[in-house]
Structure 1
Amino acid sequence: MAADPAPRPRPAPPAEPPPATGATPGGRGRAVGLWRRRSLRFRLTAVASAVLAVALVVSAYVMIGVLRNALLSTIDDSIYQRAREAVSLADAERLPNEMTSPDGTLLQVVDGTGRITHTTAGTDRLVPLLNTAGRAEAIGAAEARFLDGKPYGIPHVLRVRVLSADRGRTVIAARPFSEVQTSISTAGHVLLVGTPLLLILLAGVSWVIIGGTLRPIAALRRGAEEITDTARSHRLPVPEARDEVHSLATTLNAMLARLEKADIRQRALVSDAAHELRSPLASIRLQLEVALGHPEGQDWQETAEGVLEDTMRLSRLAEDLLALARLDERGGTPARSEPVELDQLVQQTVERYGQAVTVRIGDGPMVTTGDALDLGRVLVNLVDNALRHTRTVVLVELRDEGADAVLTVTDDGPGIPELDRERVFDRFTRLDSARSRDEGGAGLGLAIVRETVHAHGGAVRLEDAAPGLRAVVRLPLS
């Protein structure tokens, strides 16, 4: 019988990648997102506390180092002084049999053969703290060194200084370093307990101070929540402190005032426009109703002319409203910024009026920057307004004065009282005088003039022409 074939070994499963160590990008992203979602007060306090913690740790480390060096320097100075005194006594052969040291310094006097001749009480009299090589090395180094005192029966680390005396003698001065270690350990324990307490105290103070600093901002937020479409006249509370929050509140209140003014102006425009539209629409409706109600006796030619007149009035009003809307949309800037030859623009615009308008243009080209169509509309509005009220002819003049071009349109009509010369530039403003809308003006012509001139960086005003009225437009020359 044939033997069964040996089983094939199964392939080992692929090894799984080891788990990644450290923070993953997703974890970092969540941490950053969590940090950003915290309140500004918390983040400022946390950052201030972290900076204070680093500062306190560094200060504690530096203070411990300075304290250790100061105490070490004090011990070194002390043992050096005691060693110098012993050297002086040895050189003068005045060493006492029993040497004393008021500050606990250990002294050994070793002769040239390595035998200890004099010591302080409690010091080994047989074995020097340093052997011959050690003493020679210490003398050459001319500074103190550490020495383990346990081999000599002293349970402390010693600070040792060696000086040479006459006749081959050396003086060994040593002092336990334990007192410095004790002082450093005590200071370390104080800092270990005091630093966290101080950090907690400073964090609490920072929390309170930052909260007080942000309180006016919270008041601004509450004030903003109270402002609604029915309470547009409300303003945000302004803090007494003349700081950045005060400037912010003042700026926001100024912005609210501008928005309120713009809203009132927009509502007034809609209301006035609706009022102006009612008259021609009512007239058209009345004429058509009468014509349809009595077709047999109706003069359709006359009706068509009346409806056309009212339609043209509606068309002019729509064009004026569209022009104002475009000026508002551009935010006080011209539609184009290109060179405009004012002398040619004035000459071409006035030609359409024939003998009713006289033009005078100064010498030399006068070029400004802006939109020729808008500037032409300005001149047309002024001339049309003057023609409605003049008794004879209208005079149009263009001249240059320094860096400006001055355009004037003068009529000899009834004029406008001085108190009303500024008000007539408002939208839908008509005077109850001889210069009212004799021929259906809606009171938008001068408003379009002022806003267009301002968009081109110029100015416009009305002045007495004795008799009549003069409109003066100043535009900057290129």
Structure 2
Amino acid sequence: MAAEPAGGPVAGPATRSAAGSAAGPAAGTARRGPRWRRGGGAGWWRRKSLRFRLTAVASAVLAVALAVSAYVMVGVMSRALLDRIDDSLHQRAREMVALADAGRLPGELTSSDGTLVQVIDAAGRITHATTGTDRLVPLLNARRRAAVPAGGGARFLDGEPYGIPHLLRVRVLRADRGQTVIVARSFGEVETSITTAGRVLLIGTPLLLVLLAGISWVIIGRTLRPITALRRGAEEITGTARSRRLPVPESRDEVYSLATTLNAMLDRLERADARQRALVSDAAHELRSPLASIRLQLEVALGHPGGPDDWRETAEGVLEDTTRLTRLAEDLLALARLDERGGALARREPVCLDELAWQTVERYGEAVVVRIAAGGEGGSVVVPGDALDLGRVLVNLVDNALRHTASPVVVEVRAEGADAVLTVTDDGPGIPEADRERVFDRFTRLDSARSRDEGGAGLGLAIVRETVNAHGGAVHLEDARPGLRAVVRLPLS
């Protein structure tokens, strides 16, 4: 039997394949790891504060602007100095040409600004030169002088071969009798000026950039300070804080508009919250009475059991309270649906009000009288809306009128201009003018209605107003003399 190697069994192809397969996903994961960090640079940038990003962008723009300005300034300054030297050379050369043509060149030429002048005759000899200028070797040899066109511009010349450690700016003009005038001036002063300006800009531009970046950081911080105040104010607002508002800056800018808009939103949320809390509180209060009545009747019946007549009386009382609970639950469900839709209709379809009135009042028999006036097309009064919701509006108004009337309630439907008018009139005691708007609030009942068992929970008229508002209409109460009239106006189709 062959012995195994000291390091263990030798991995065969299958073993190596399995190992590679096992290691493959992990290795692939390791290799793909950096790729998972999608948008690394962009993500880092987005994680920075708005103040940092604005300052960085402003600083980058300033850096580019300063660099371009420095480059342009150095270029303009170089061009201006060069043009100044060229103009000076040209003027001096023209003066020398004029003197040479007139034969009035002095024996010794002088120069107060360091300009070098050489006058060369047709034979190539230097006849006149400024003090300190080479009188044997022309600045330009014959070949180079011949290559210069008539009236040619200035050019650069290395001054080292002539013992001048700077560049020279040279200009050549031709005079009469084969004479040539060469004028030159050192370019060292200009180079020094340009170099000095470049160094100043090289050092000053970063310092100016840092200064402007610091100023931008401070200004942006002060500009964003109201937003920080808004954030801190929002953090302090909790579910138990009722009257907190966000701080409004004094400046009339976009942050001011944002703060006022958010405060208006908080006002609406607070009113909605207060309304919901009031609804829950009033609903709980209304539920207590029938539940307490049911419990009391059942406890009395169980504690003092009597005959079948007593149990029948108890069942009738419990049924009456259960009916009140059912009506309250339906009204609360209707209000919840209206609130959930936010003033929008569940459906919008043509609704014939006269037909709806006839169908709705059939259940009341002779207690309700319907009057239909001439309408639009075909004599019908048609409005866009939800037939079920409008039917509930009419039922609530009729039920409310029947509680207080002694004679039949009158329901009238007519078209008036661009509106459909639905009225429900009774001859009851009516409602004081001061209370005619208040009765449309939820769980609002007048003292006379609270004393009546069938007075309801005070939700009927609230459902009427919110449903009519959702249909784009309006409802109000007016004196019918005698009695009260509920008037509903809806836009015609």
TM-score (norm. length: structure 1)? 0.90
Among 75, 79, 100, the residue aligned to 1:69: 79
> Which residue pairs with 1:93 in the alignment?
103
Q: Does 1:466 align with 2:481?
A: yes
Superposition pairs for residues 47-62 of structure 1, below 5 Å?
47-62=57-72
Name the amino acid aligned to 2:272. A
> Which residue pairs with 2:230 in the alignment?
220
CA distance, structure 2, for counterparts of residue 466 and residue 137 of structure 1: 121
CA distance, structure 1, for counterparts of residue 300 and residue 116 of structure 2: 134
Superposition pairs for residues 96-107 of structure 1, below 5 Å?
96-107=106-117
Post-superposition Cα deviations, 1:50-70, rounded to whole Å, max 9, x if no partner, equal: 111111111111111111111
How has the CA–CA distance of structure 1 residues 149 and 442 changed in structure 2, closer, same or farther, with 3 Å as cutoff? same
Q: Does 1:265 align with 2:275?
A: yes
Q: SS of the residue aligned with 2:168?
A: strand
How has the CA–CA distance of structure 1 residues 50 and 243 changed in structure 2, closer, same or farther, with 3 Å as cutoff? same
Q: Does 1:405 align with 2:417?
A: no
Contact 2:425–2:483 (8 Å) recurs in 1: yes
CA distance, structure 2, for counterparts of residue 159 and residue 347 of structure 1: 111
How has the CA–CA distance of structure 1 residues 160 and 27 changed in structure 2, closer, same or farther, with 3 Å as cutoff? farther
How far 1:26 sits from its partner (Å)?
Answer: 5.7
CA distance, structure 1, for counterparts of residue 208 and residue 195 of structure 2: 19
How far 1:298 sits from its partner (Å)?
Answer: 4.4
> Which residue pairs with 1:119 in the alignment?
129
Among 320, 326, 333, the residue aligned to 1:315: 326
How has the CA–CA distance of structure 1 residues 309 and 368 changed in structure 2, closer, same or farther, with 3 Å as cutoff? same
Contact 1:291–1:298 (8 Å) recurs in 2: no
> Which residue pairs with 2:144 in the alignment?
134
Q: SS of the residue aligned with 2:477?
A: strand
Q: SS of the residue aligned with 2:123?
A: coil
How far 1:329 sits from its partner (Å)?
Answer: 0.9
How far 1:336 sits from its partner (Å)?
Answer: 1.3
Q: SS of the residue aligned with 1:377?
A: helix
Contact 1:157–1:176 (8 Å) recurs in 2: yes
How has the CA–CA distance of structure 1 residues 371 and 140 changed in structure 2, closer, same or farther, with 3 Å as cutoff? farther
Contact 2:350–2:383 (8 Å) recurs in 1: yes
Contact 2:449–2:455 (8 Å) recurs in 1: no
Q: Does 1:363 align with 2:380?
A: no
> Which residue pairs with 2:436 in the alignment?
421
> Which residue pairs with 1:343 in the alignment?
354
Post-superposition Cα deviations, 1:131-183, rounded to whole Å, max 9, x if no partner, equal: 33433443347322222222232221111222222222222221111111111
Q: Does 1:198 align with 2:208?
A: yes
How has the CA–CA distance of structure 1 residues 175 and 30 changed in structure 2, closer, same or farther, with 3 Å as cutoff? same
In angstroms, what is the RMSD of aligned CA positions?
A: 2.0
Post-superposition Cα deviations, 1:373-424, rounded to whole Å, max 9, x if no partner, equal: 1111111111111121122122222223333222222222111111111111
Contact 1:416–1:435 (8 Å) recurs in 2: no
How has the CA–CA distance of structure 1 residues 358 and 258 changed in structure 2, closer, same or farther, with 3 Å as cutoff? same
How far 1:123 sits from its partner (Å)?
Answer: 2.0
Name the amino acid aligned to 1:316. R
Name the amino acid aligned to 1:139. P
Among 289, 295, 304, the residue aligned to 1:279: 289
Contact 2:150–2:173 (8 Å) recurs in 1: no
How far 1:217 sits from its partner (Å)?
Answer: 1.7
How has the CA–CA distance of structure 1 residues 28 and 112 changed in structure 2, closer, same or farther, with 3 Å as cutoff? farther
> Which residue pairs with 1:164 in the alignment?
174
Q: SS of the residue aligned with 1:160?
A: strand
CA distance, structure 2, for counterparts of residue 94 and residue 366 of structure 1: 119
Q: SS of the residue aligned with 1:104?
A: coil
Superposition pairs for residues 234-273 of structure 1, below 5 Å?
234-273=244-283
- Identical pairs, percent: 80
Contact 2:154–2:172 (8 Å) recurs in 1: yes
Aligned residues: 455
Q: Does 1:451 align with 2:466?
A: yes
Contact 2:403–2:455 (8 Å) recurs in 1: no
> Which residue pairs with 1:11 in the alignment?
none
Among 383, 396, 400, the residue aligned to 2:398: 383
Among 292, 298, 308, the residue aligned to 2:302: 292
How far 1:438 sits from its partner (Å)?
Answer: 5.0
CA distance, structure 1, for counterparts of residue 362 and residue 401 of structure 2: 16
How has the CA–CA distance of structure 1 residues 142 and 470 changed in structure 2, closer, same or farther, with 3 Å as cutoff? farther
CA distance, structure 1, for counterparts of residue 477 and residue 450 of structure 2: 14
How far 1:27 sits from its partner (Å)?
Answer: 6.7
> Which residue pairs with 1:305 in the alignment?
316
CA distance, structure 1, for counterparts of residue 442 and residue 313 of structure 2: 33
How has the CA–CA distance of structure 1 residues 84 and 400 changed in structure 2, closer, same or farther, with 3 Å as cutoff? farther
Contact 2:66–2:205 (8 Å) recurs in 1: yes
CA distance, structure 2, for counterparts of residue 53 and residue 436 of structure 1: 82
How far 1:472 sits from its partner (Å)?
Answer: 1.6
Post-superposition Cα deviations, 1:176-211, rounded to whole Å, max 9, x if no partner, equal: 111111111111111111111111111111111111
Name the amino acid aligned to 1:53. A
CA distance, structure 2, for counterparts of residue 72 and residue 27 of structure 1: 55
Q: SS of the residue aligned with 1:168?
A: coil
Q: SS of the residue aligned with 1:139?
A: coil
Q: SS of the residue aligned with 2:448?
A: coil
> Which residue pairs with 1:38 in the alignment?
48
> Which residue pairs with 2:29 in the alignment?
none
How far 1:276 sits from its partner (Å)?
Answer: 0.7
How has the CA–CA distance of structure 1 residues 434 and 466 changed in structure 2, closer, same or farther, with 3 Å as cutoff? farther
How has the CA–CA distance of structure 1 residues 141 and 359 changed in structure 2, closer, same or farther, with 3 Å as cutoff? farther
Contact 1:139–1:164 (8 Å) recurs in 2: no
Q: Which moved more, 1:232-241 or 1:270-279?
A: 232-241
Contact 2:476–2:486 (8 Å) recurs in 1: yes
CA distance, structure 1, for counterparts of residue 223 and residue 452 of structure 2: 59
CA distance, structure 2, for counterparts of residue 434 and residue 412 of structure 1: 16
> Which residue pairs with 1:6 in the alignment?
none
> Which residue pairs with 2:25 in the alignment?
none
Q: Does 1:229 align with 2:239?
A: yes
